[in-house]
């Protein structure tokens, strides 16, 4: 069974540009979470989907971030326009039960 | 503020030594989990300990949980250079989201 996959693994963009990160959860997992680790600090929750609905987006830092989950399958996280402080590693996780989250390998975003 | 505060923030040891990392949290929990992140790579789930458990082992890992003190510790025995990574504890929040601590940067020197 395939695990959670994320694309790209690494993205380098300039300030002001747009980047879209993608997460493919484990098939059948209704819950999808986005987290990020910025500048070697703690890992922070961004948002939670249940199927295609946003259950909790309290961790989204500002309106430059837009997340979608089309048809309750894969999810995208768009940053537009990107700022320097957005650099970090973005993790996606999926789960069927609340206690068992499976993480993807992460996308390392570098904003120059 | 964030649950899962950890100490030390950084730990440097020699191969073969044991490494102990501590984590404290603030609210009641159903379980506490430990994760590892190798430099530039993804999060790896290490171990989950439930609130009714006091100690759990997995290979060279030993986790303890003291719900009265709202704290947990992760012990890595006979450390190896490959154990060099960031270690995080995490507790479950509303909706199942995980609340991570600041992490401990472990460096194991060969």
- What is the predicted pLDDT for the residue at A99? 63
- Determine the pLDDT at residue A14: 97
Q: Dihedral (C-alpha) B86, A92, B100, B42: value to the nearest 10 degrees? A: -10
Quote the pLDDT of residue B2. 43
**Pair A57, A45: CB distance under 8 Å:** no
Express each pLDDT in A76-101 by its tens digit. Answer: 999 999 999 999 999 999 998 766 78
Q: What number of other Cβ atoms are within 10 A of residue A97's Cβ?
A: 10
Q: Do the bridges between strand B31-37 and strand B85-92 make them parallel or antiparallel, or are there none, so unpaired?
A: antiparallel
Supply the pLDDT for residue B3: 56
Cβ separation A102–B98 shorter than 8 A: no
Q: Using one digit for the tens of pLDDT, what is the confidence trace for A65-76?
A: 999 998 889 999
Considering CB atoms only, which of B43, B45, B95 is closest to A48?
B95
Pseudo-torsion of CA B72, B77, B80, B85, nearest 10°?
Answer: 0
Residue bearing tokens 């120059």 = A112
More confident residue, A50 or A97: A50
Q: Cα B60 to the chain's mean position, in Å? A: 13
Classify A98 in phi/psi space as left (phi over 0), alpha (psi -120 to 50) or beta. alpha
Q: How far apart are CA B58 and CA B63, in angstroms?
A: 8
Vertex B80: Cα angle to B75 and B84 (nearest 5): 80
The answer to whether A106 contacts B42, with C-beta atoms less than 8 Å apart, is yes
Residue pair A37/A89 in contact (Cβ under 8 Å)? The answer is yes
Nearest to B100 among A42, A89, A98 (CB): A42
CA nearest A30: which of A11, A46, A50?
A50
Are B15 and B110 in contact, with CB atoms under 8 Å apart?
Answer: yes
Q: Which residues of chain B have pLDDT under 50?
A: 1-2
CA distance A29 to A51: 8
Q: What is the C-alpha to C-alpha distance for residues B99 and A45, in angstroms, rounded to an integer? A: 7
The rounded Cα B71 to chain-centroid distance in angstroms is: 11
Interface subset of B 66-105, CB within 8 angstroms of A: 88, 90, 92-103
Per-residue pLDDT tens digits for A23-47: 999 999 999 999 999 877 889 999 9
Half-sphere exposure of B33 (CA within 13 A, CB side): 21
């Amino acid at each position: 069974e395939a695990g959670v996959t994320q694309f790209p693994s690494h993205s380098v963009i300039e300030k002001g540009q747009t980047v879209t990160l993608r997460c493919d959860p484990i098939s059948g997992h209704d819950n999808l979470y986005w987290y990020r680790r910025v500048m070697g600090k703690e890992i922070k929750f961004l948002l939670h989907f249940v199927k295609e609905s946003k259950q909790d987006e309290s961790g989204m830092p500002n309106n430059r971030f837009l997340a979608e989950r089309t048809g309750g399958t894969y999810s995208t996280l768009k940053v537009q326009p990107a700022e320097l402080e957005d650099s970090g590693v973005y993790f996606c996780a999926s789960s069927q039960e609340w206690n068992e989250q499976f993480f993807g390998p992460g996308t390392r975003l570098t904003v120059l | 503020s964030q649950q899962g505060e950890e100490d030390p923030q950084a730990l440097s040891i020699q191969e073969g030594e044991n490494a102990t990392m501590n984590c404290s949290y603030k609210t009641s929990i159903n379980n506490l989990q430990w994760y590892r992140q190798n430099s530039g790579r993804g999060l790896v789930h290490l171990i989950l300990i439930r609130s009714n458990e006091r100690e759990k082992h997995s290979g060279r890992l030993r986790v303890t949980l003291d719900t009265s003190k709202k704290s947990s510790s992760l012990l890595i025995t006979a450390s190896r250079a490959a154990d060099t990574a960031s270690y995080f504890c995490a507790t479950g929040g509303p909706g199942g989201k995980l609340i991570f601590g600041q992490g401990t940067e472990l460096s194991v020197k060969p």
